[in-house]
Structure 1
Amino acid sequence: MSRPTPYPVRLADEITRQLGQLSDHLSQLPPPQAAQVIARILDPDNGILGGVTHLVATGSLFAKDQAEQGTLPAQAWLALGRAANELHDIALDLDEHQDTLQRLGTQPATTAAKPSTPAPLVVRRRR
């Protein structure tokens, strides 16, 4: 007889499924709505990125305890800690763009007086 799946495991599966749905919706949204969604995702206090960062940091604390007991390799704890630190740094880097995304998400769609000039994102070297 199989054991029932614990609620936290089901919750993690459901969140993963919903993140996939959000990605699908995001790819089809008009730019102002996409900017609103991205701004909410990146919100440092209430956004998904902050939540995932906190979750990984919490996982790192668990892994540290398990590594100290010898039930988990220390490398697993170090990797989770490094991931939490990297996610935190990424969130800090993205936080400076939060206001711009929010502004873009609240602009009326009909303000097309002058088309914006695209910024070059890739610089190619000549051979």
Structure 2
Amino acid sequence: MSHPAPYPVRLADEITRQLGQLTNQLSRLPPPQAAQVIARVLDPDTGVLGALTHLVATGSVFAKDQAELGALPAEVWLALGRASNELHDITLDLDEHQDTLHHVGTQPATTSAKPPAPAPLVIRRRR
């Protein structure tokens, strides 16, 4: 007889499933609603990205403790620490765009005669 997965494992599976559903819905939303969803997901304090960053940081602390006991290789702790730091940096980079996303998400749908001008997607660096 198989043992049921403990609650935290089931919770992680359910969160993963719901993120998949959100991804599928995001691709079908009109731009203002999609911007609202993205802004909420990327919110560093209350969004998914901030929560994920905190979860990975918590996992890093766990891995450090386990590495000190010899139960995990130190490389696991170091990898989780790097991931936590990278996610934190990404969160900071994206946070500066929160106002823009909120602005786009609150714009009424207009049928203007002149569509917005597309922005170039390639940024060249000076050497």
Q: What TM-score results when the alignment is normalised by the length of structure 1? A: 0.93
Find the counterpart in structure 2 of residue 37 from structure 1: 37
* Cα deviation digits, residues 58-97 of structure 1 (max 9, x gap): 0000000000001101000000000000000000000000
Deviation at 1:114, TM superposition (A): 3.2
Find the counterpart in structure 1 of residue 70 from structure 2: 70
CA RMSD of aligned residues (A): 1.4
Please give the secondary structure, in 1, of the residue aligned with 2:50. helix
Deviation at 1:117, TM superposition (A): 1.1
Worse-matched range after superposition: 112-121 or 75-84: 112-121
Deviation at 1:104, TM superposition (A): 0.2
1:15 matches 2:30: no
Deviation at 1:113, TM superposition (A): 5.1
CA distance in structure 2 between the partners assigned to 1:88 and 1:111 by the alignment? 39
Report percent identity of matched pairs: 80
Q: What TM-score results when the alignment is normalised by the length of structure 2? A: 0.93
Find the counterpart in structure 2 of residue 119 from structure 1: 119
Gapped regions of structure 1 (runs ≥ 5)? none
Find the counterpart in structure 2 of residue 102 from structure 1: 102
Find the counterpart in structure 1 of residue 84 from structure 2: 84
Deviation at 1:115, TM superposition (A): 1.7
CA distance in structure 1 between the partners assigned to 2:83 and 2:52 by the alignment? 11
CA distance in structure 2 between the partners assigned to 1:115 and 1:5 by the alignment? 52
Worse-matched range after superposition: 35-44 or 110-119: 110-119
CA distance in structure 1 between the partners assigned to 2:114 and 2:56 by the alignment? 44
Deviation at 1:2, TM superposition (A): 2.1
Find the counterpart in structure 1 of residue 54 from structure 2: 54
CA distance in structure 1 between the partners assigned to 2:3 and 2:115 by the alignment? 59
* Cα deviation digits, residues 21-49 of structure 1 (max 9, x gap): 00000000010000000000011110000
Deviation at 1:20, TM superposition (A): 0.2
Please give the secondary structure, in 1, of the residue aligned with 2:46. coil
